[in-house]
Amino acid sequence: MTDFSSALGVAASGMRSQADRIRHVSENIANADTPGYRRKIVSFEAMRGTEAPLGAVQPGRVALDRSALPEVFDPGHPMADETGHYLGSNVDLVVELADAREAQRSYEANLRVFDQVRQMSSSLSDLLRR
């Protein structure tokens, strides 16, 4: 029974982490046209703490993408310098969409495991009912 509860906890931690990741993706996409916005990157790590079930995962610290911001030519823009350029954001929509799709896929895998474990534990308790 402890295997089941730890498996449920681990699958839930995976779903939480993927949900956090997709939230950062949506922040990036929402700010794709914000001047000077740097893309946020989140990486996963093993969950720490005494309460955490063995093998659980948590999102790590948010890092900012250090790649250069593109210079956009728009002399009419309020933030444009004397050459008519301003710094855009380094969000690449294609990369964000790929990341969102990967997060969705991993989330579904975790959900599937959660469902399997739930079925297994309910068939175990069915033994008592006979």
Residue 18 contacts another protein per CB under 8 A = yes
Structure tokens, 20: 């956090």
Chain CA centroid to CA 80, Å = 33
Q: Which one of residues 34, 36, 55, 79 is an interface residue with another protein (CB under 8 A)?
A: 55
CB of 64 to another protein, least distance (A): 18
Q: Max Cα separation, the chain?
A: 82
Segment near another protein (CB under 8 A); pick from 24-32, 69-77, 83-91, 101-109: 101-109
**Cβ–Cβ under 8 Å, residues 38 and 27:** no
Give every CB contact of residue 36 below 8 A, 6+ residues apart in sequence.
69, 87, 88, 89
Using rule CB under 8 A, residue 31 touches another protein: no
Applying CB under 8 A, the residues found at the interface with another protein are 3-4, 6-8, 10-11, 13-14, 17-18, 21, 43-46, 54-57, 102-103, 105-106, 109-110, 112-114, 116-117, 119-120, 123-124, 126-127, 130
